[in-house]
């Protein structure tokens, strides 16, 4: 390319970026110079629409683009679109709407109109709800610290548990003998996405007890942030929930709001494990389904981790739509009680509660200060092809300034 043509190309690139972004010529040139310092050429910057990426994330996002490229290529092959154009859309969605790369594919984002995109319930809206509906001195640590949470809400936990850190063999054995026969759950105190959770048989003899203790002490030494483990009784799930899937506890996520003192359930979803997994987390392959908040019935098909619709559970074959969660009235009563207590003790008005259903009624597994919107929206989307931002919009747009 001749010098004149290169200059003309550079000029046209600058003009194109200015048109896309509204930047001045000086700002555009500064951005291009900064990218060049990071080893990102002008052609690459323009090709992938890197103007959507904040400066501080530009290099990281550029160098870890393999997954983005794979997803763009899959979408390209499926719909006959330019993979570069798909990548540009992925970048724009990530940094303008905080849409994670995997959900771009699951929501078929490249097929949506702008109006449909605006109707999606995404991380910014979930974060805004969390910030708006808490007091200025709120204590979100109650959800992150499993020990504090269990100690604050014993009437809702309703199961035996103990902390392994600093525990002697004799203390461990004494606690373990109080568990009902069967299995117990070992959880790292600091974890997410179900990582590190084990389901183990309750030891019945001295040798088994010693082996269990040694195993727990080994986990203690390698636990994240030098924290130990929580050991708790295995929840005895209701037979109907076992009919869905019996190798994990299938948790019901109930998202609640205290609004001008009134209690509201905003949305409900249920997660289920698959294929022998002992947790129902999506990161472990779990599937999710929408639930009617009035009746406790499943009102969508299930969504797989990949965003595929499932009319029946892939492991048990149980039909999804119409399944009735047992003890639904008791679930509603329980989550209102813990939601009000969480506001009283920690100033938190918006929360997600993970509920297990046992033969004797519901109990709380844990709470979430920033419940993931995708847990509900994905099954609704694969069933109805619509977003659910309408659920929170009345509270985000309300002139009420929240609880701060």
Convert the pLDDT of each residue in 242-289 to its tens digit: 999 999 999 999 999 999 899 999 999 999 999 988 888 776 678 999
Residue 128 has a pLDDT of 94
Cβ-Cβ contacts under 8 Å for 286 (sequence gap 6 or more): 248, 271, 272, 273, 274, 277, 279, 280, 305
Three-state SS at 274: coil
Q: How far apart are CA 59 and CA 72, in angstroms?
A: 20
Please give the Cα distance from 226 to 390 (Å, whole number): 42
Q: Are 205 and 324 in contact (CB under 8 A)?
A: no
Query: How far is CA 248 from each of CA 157, 356, 372, 375, rounded to the nearest angstrom?
Result: 18, 10, 20, 17
Measured CA to CA in angstroms, residue 10 lies from 15, 54, 257, 275, 317 at distances of 9, 22, 53, 55, 59
Contact 229, 188 (CB under 8 A): yes
Strand 361-368 versus strand 287-291 pairing type:
unpaired
DSSP conformation class of 354: E
Question: How far are the Cα atoms of 13, 83, 86, 186, 249 from residue 234, in angstroms, in the given order?
Answer: 61, 47, 45, 9, 9
Of 212, 209, 164, residue with least CA distance to 188? 164
The reported pLDDT for the residue numbered 194 is 59
Asked whether 303 and 291 are in contact (CB, 8 A), the reply is: no
Partners of 231 in beta bridges: 162, 186
Residues in the chain: 404
Name the DSSP letter for residue 397: S
Q: Are 288 and 373 in contact (CB under 8 A)?
A: no
pLDDT tens series, the chain, 404 aa: 566 777 778 878 888 899 889 999 989 998 898 888 888 888 888 888 999 999 888 888 787 788 889 999 999 999 999 999 999 999 999 999 999 889 999 999 999 999 999 999 999 999 999 999 999 899 989 998 888 999 999 999 999 999 888 889 999 999 999 998 889 998 877 655 556 788 899 998 999 999 999 999 888 777 655 567 889 999 999 999 999 999 999 999 999 999 989 999 999 999 999 998 888 877 667 899 999 999 999 999 999 988 999 999 999 999 999 999 999 999 999 999 999 999 999 999 999 999 999 999 999 999 999 898 999 999 999 999 999 999 999 998 765 555 54
CA distance 298 to 277: 22
Concatenate the DSSP letters of all residues of 216-241 into one string.
HHHHHHHSGGG--EEEEEPP-B-HHH
Strand residue runs (E) in 273-360? 287-291, 298-303, 309-310, 350-358
pLDDT at residue number 404? 45
Bridge partners of residue 200, in order along the sequence: 184
Rg of the chain (C-alpha set): 25
- In angstroms, the CA 99 to CA 109 distance is 9
Give me the residues paired with residue 106 across strands: none
- Chain-centroid distance of CA 264 in Å reads 21
What does the pLDDT look like over 360-404, one tens digit per residue?
999 999 999 989 899 999 999 999 999 999 999 999 876 555 554
In 150-261, beta strands by DSSP E: 161-163, 183-188, 198-201, 229-233, 252-259
């Amino acid at each position: 390319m001749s010098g004149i043509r290169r200059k003309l190309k550079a000029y046209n690139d600058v003009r194109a970026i200015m048109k896309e972004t509204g930047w001045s010529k000086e700002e555009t040139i500064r951005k291009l110079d900064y990218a060049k310092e990071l080893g990102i050429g002008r052609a690459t910057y323009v090709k992938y629409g890197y103007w959507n990426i904040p400066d501080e994330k530009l290099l990281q996002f550029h160098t870890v683009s393999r997954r983005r490229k794979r997803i763009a290529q899959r979408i390209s092959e499926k719909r006959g679109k330019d993979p570069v154009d798909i990548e540009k859309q992925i970048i724009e969605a990530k940094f303008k709407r905080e849409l994670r790369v995997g959900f771009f594919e699951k929501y078929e984002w490249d097929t949506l109109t702008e109006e449909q995109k605006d109707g999606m319930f995404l991380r910014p809206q979930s974060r805004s709800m969390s910030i708006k509906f808490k007091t200025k001195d709120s204590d979100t640590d109650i959800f992150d610290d499993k020990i504090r949470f269990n100690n604050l809400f014993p009437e809702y936990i309703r199961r035996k548990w103990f902390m392994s850190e600093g525990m002697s063999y004799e203390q461990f054995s004494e606690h373990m003998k109080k568990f009902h026969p069967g299995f117990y759950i070992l959880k790292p105190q600091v974890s997410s996405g179900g990582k590190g959770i084990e389901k183990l048989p309750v030891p019945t003899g001295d040798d088994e007890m010693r082996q269990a203790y040694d195993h727990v002490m080994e986990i203690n030494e390698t636990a994240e942030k030098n924290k130990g483990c929580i050991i708790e009784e295995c929840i005895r799930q209701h037979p109907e929930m076992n009919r869905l899937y019996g190798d994990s506890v299938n948790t019901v996520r109930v998202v609640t709001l205290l609004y001008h003192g009134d209690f509201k359930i905003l949305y409900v979803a249920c997660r289920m494990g698959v294929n022998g997994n002992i947790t129902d987390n999506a990161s472990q392959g779990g599937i999710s389904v929408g639930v009617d908040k009035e009746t406790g019935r499943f009102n969508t098909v299930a969504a797989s981790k990949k965003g595929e619709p499932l009319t029946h559970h892939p492991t048990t074959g149980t039909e999804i739509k119409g399944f009735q969660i047992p003890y639904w009235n008791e679930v509603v009563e329980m989550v209102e009680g813990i939601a009000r207590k969480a506001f009283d003790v920690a100033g938190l008005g918006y929360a997600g509660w993970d509920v297990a259903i046992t033969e004797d009624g519901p109990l709380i597994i844990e709470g979430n200060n920033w419940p993931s919107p995708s847990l509900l929206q994905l099954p609704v989307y694969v069933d109805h092809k619509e977003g659910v931002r309408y659920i929170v919009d009345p509270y985000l747009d309300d002139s009420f300034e929240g609880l701060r």
